[in-house]
Structure 1
Amino acid sequence: MAYKIAVVGGKDIVTAFQLIGFDVYPSYTAEETRRTIDKLAKENYGIIYLTEELADLIPDTIRRYDGLPTPAITLIPTNRGTEGIGRNRINDNVEKAIGSNILQGGD
């Protein structure tokens, strides 16, 4: 089964991804983003790239999909830079999987 890839975020962000062949879904509010993510999850999307800005609005929805094999929701920064949410999620998942966070460097 071939999974599809989608990008959800502001129109200024998702347009660039459309040029490389990803399905794009402009979204601006928490409710609109939540509905879009739920719809894509039912439509055979294996990966959903979501801007950190929107992910910050729907943490419960993100957590709900964290426990499922698909879709994998991957957070991406916006043109205003990263908020660190995506990196923090990766660190948390590594720590959960192996018992310690091997990705964080010492000070």
Structure 2
Amino acid sequence: MYKIGVIGDSESVIGFRAVGLDVFPCEDPAEAARLIRELAEGEYAIIYIMEGLAAQVEKEIDKYKDSRLPAIIPIPNKEGASGNGMRNVREAVKRAVGADILFGGNDK
């Protein structure tokens, strides 16, 4: 059975625990890169990572870009978002449900 993990600052990831996801509080890019490798080698099909941290470990994330698993998806964190995280969530929802869903605004 595959798992879903969330990597990011503790304030942003703690809520994901309530819905049953595995959370990995982390703010250090080197630690985040290590966690990505560890989760990718484990049973994780999806790894969500806060977009600020994802920007700092792009090279590590790119290693898995062409792999079937895991899907590594940057998501917005508590400080707000550049828009990339929300676009990634939107695209994932679009693929899953077959329709575009607009999330609270005119995000292009």
TMscore range, shorter length: 0.7 to 0.9
Letter aligned with residue 15 of structure 2: A
Cα drift, residue 81 of structure 1: 1.1
**Separation of aligned partners in 2, 1:39 and 1:84:** 27
**Separation of aligned partners in 1, 2:37 and 2:15:** 23
Q: Partner of 2:45 in structure 1?
A: 46
Q: Partner of 2:29 in structure 1?
A: 30
Letter aligned with residue 48 of structure 1: I
Q: TM-score, normalised by structure 2?
A: 0.77
**Separation of aligned partners in 2, 1:59 and 1:80:** 20
Question: RMSD over aligned Cα, in angstroms?
Answer: 1.6
SS in 2 for 1:82: coil
Cα drift, residue 83 of structure 1: 1.5
**Separation of aligned partners in 2, 1:33 and 1:40:** 10
SS in 1 for 2:56: coil
- 2:12 is the alignment partner of 1:20: no
Cα drift, residue 84 of structure 1: 2.6
**Separation of aligned partners in 1, 2:5 and 2:24:** 7
Report how many residues are paired. Answer: 89
Letter aligned with residue 81 of structure 1: G
Q: TM-score, normalised by structure 1?
A: 0.77
Q: Partner of 2:105 in structure 1?
A: none
**Separation of aligned partners in 1, 2:37 and 2:82:** 24
Higher alpha-carbon Rg: 1
Identity %: 39
Gaps of 5+ in 2: 92-108
Q: Deviations over 1:43-67 (max 9, x none)?
A: 1100001000100101101111111
Gaps of 5+ in 1: 92-107
Q: Partner of 1:9 in structure 2?
A: 8
Flag as ranges the 4+ runs of structure 1 deviating above 3 A.
Answer: none
